[in-house]
Structure 1
Amino acid sequence: MDLLINIDVPSLDRGVAFYAGALGLTVTRRLGADVVELGGLPVRLYLLQNPAGSIGAADAPRRYDRHWTPVHFDVVVDDIDAAAARAVAAGARAEADIRVNAWGKIAAMADPFGHGFCLIQFLGRGYDEIADAGAGP
């Protein structure tokens, strides 16, 4: 089984520029005129060019202003301050101050196309700091 992440963007050029600048991703291949595969994460990320207003899932029009969805992706980084600064310089919007938790630090961000994502820097034992000992699935 594989996991693929697909992100709709109104412009492939702008999408590639942002994700290359913000996360250091690179184009690994193009799939026709409207799809780009990006490498640099342990999962393949695809940018799908779709114009604003075109119909997406559940007959909902695509929009690229900030929108909320309960599904987003997190990128684990070694230095959250440097990663957040790089993302903002590439066009991301920091949505809150970096928060510190028992497991690590988190920066809530939005890309230039309205999609939310988080940067995470684990501290100590990461999520094991808050995991219930012996709790299983």
Structure 2
Amino acid sequence: MQLLINIDVDDLARGIGFYQHGLGLRLARRLFDGSVAEMLGGNAPIYLLAKAPGSSPSKRADGRRDYRRHWTPVHLDFVVEDLESAIERALDAGAELEDWPQDFEWGRQAMLSDPFGHGLCFIEWKGEGYTGAAL
């Protein structure tokens, strides 16, 4: 199975800038008359989709797209080599730090949000990472 990640943004150029400069991904190509940007550099491609604020995400959805900070049960975790450097880079590109880095048996984690209200976490492994947490 192939995994593709799609992220709605209200400003495609700003989205490309954040995901390039803040997370180190690279723009591979633009699709669909320039309304989609394919970003590479992780284990799965990320597609930034230009979607207007207030537009409906589907015919069955009650809500409308809102790019203020929002909660969703799905978010992305980015594994980084140096947590503090990754946080600084993301903040410089427009992210917001939502919780100070926390230490766990498997590593360290920081919670952020991107400029479009989507939650994301940075993880810096310690030892075997999650492998050491397996039962």
TM over 0.5: same fold? yes
Normalised by the length of structure 2, the TM-score is 0.95
- Give the Cα–Cα distance (whole angstroms) in 2 for the partners of residues 28 and 128 of structure 1: 32
Deviations for 1:21-61, whole angstroms, at most 9, x for unmatched residues?
A: 11111110110221010111110000000010000142420
1:16 aligns with 2:19: no
1:135 maps to what in 2?
none
2:95 maps to what in 1?
92
Deviations for 1:89-110, whole angstroms, at most 9, x for unmatched residues?
A: 1100000100000000001000
Structure 2 runs not aligned, ≥5 long: none
SS in 2 for 1:18: helix
Quickly say closer, same or farther: Cα 1:35–1:91, change in 2 above 3 A: same
2:114 maps to what in 1?
111
- Give the Cα–Cα distance (whole angstroms) in 1 for the partners of residues 119 and 35 of structure 2: 22
Residue 75 of structure 2 aligns with an amino acid whose one-letter code is: H
1:45 maps to what in 2?
46
1:7 maps to what in 2?
7
Q: How many residues align?
A: 132
SS in 2 for 1:97: strand
SS in 2 for 1:65: coil
Structure 1 runs not aligned, ≥5 long: 133-137
- Give the Cα–Cα distance (whole angstroms) in 2 for the partners of residues 108 and 85 of structure 1: 13
